[in-house]
Homo-oligomer: A and B are copies of this chain.
Amino acid sequence: MKQKDGLSIGELSKQSGVNIETIRYYEKIGVMPAPDRSASGYRVYGADHLKRLSFVRRSRQLGFSLDEIRGLLRLVDGHAYTCAQVRELTLDHLAEIRRKIADLKRLERVMAEMAAQCSGDWAPECAVIDALFDTRPPAVEPSGRQPPMPTATSVMRRR
């Protein structure tokens, strides 16, 4: 029953580096097209699916949101994109990345200053805590509203 280039979802997952559950999720939200099914209902993918999924993965790694990726794919699918359109999306995204870097650098400076106040000895009063309890408007004012700020804990959980 195996057709040429017919990949199971597991094979597609391995070749693309995208989680099986994520592939199904992409299908559900319309980022990936629904593939053919085998007689028993298994998804069967072709080379085009692999190509598209790689596109999605790479775009995600570059920080594009799924919504932006949908936009890019719409352009590509319609063969109706101009280089200028794509360039604009790219530059928008680049600006966004630079804004985030600037925000994080401000954070870095404040945190480093706080840590520097800290002797490291035991002490009942701590400069960091004092600084955090300081109710004055903090030195770090993000350039926009701050993004969800993806939590150092996600990393801490990881270790």
Least CB distance, A121 to chain B, in whole angstroms: 6
User: Do B55 and A123 touch across chains, with their CB atoms under 8 A apart?
Assistant: no
Q: Which residues of B contact A158 (CB under 8 A)?
A: 144-145
The CA-CA distance from A91 to B113 in the complex, in Å, is 11
Beta-carbon nearest neighbor of A108 in chain B:
B97
Mark each residue of chain A from 90 to 112: 1 if its CB lies under 8 Å from any CB of chain B, else 0.
11111011111100110110111
Known A92-B152, A147-B151, A153-B68: A101·B104 in contact at CB below 8 Å:
yes
User: Do A148 and B148 touch across chains, with their CB atoms under 8 A apart?
Assistant: yes
Chain A contact residues, CB within 8 Å of chain B:
50-51, 54-55, 58-65, 67-68, 72, 75-76, 79, 81-84, 86-87, 90-94, 96-101, 104-105, 107-108, 110-112, 114-115, 118-124, 126-129, 132-135, 138, 140, 142, 144-156, 158
User: Do A104 and B104 touch across chains, with their CB atoms under 8 A apart?
Assistant: yes
The CA-CA distance from A89 to B76 in the complex, in Å, is 46
User: Do B138 and A61 touch across chains, with their CB atoms under 8 A apart?
Assistant: yes
B60, B101, B133, B145: the one contacting A105 at CB < 8 Å is: B101
The CA-CA distance from A159 to B104 in the complex, in Å, is 22
The CA-CA distance from A120 to B85 in the complex, in Å, is 8
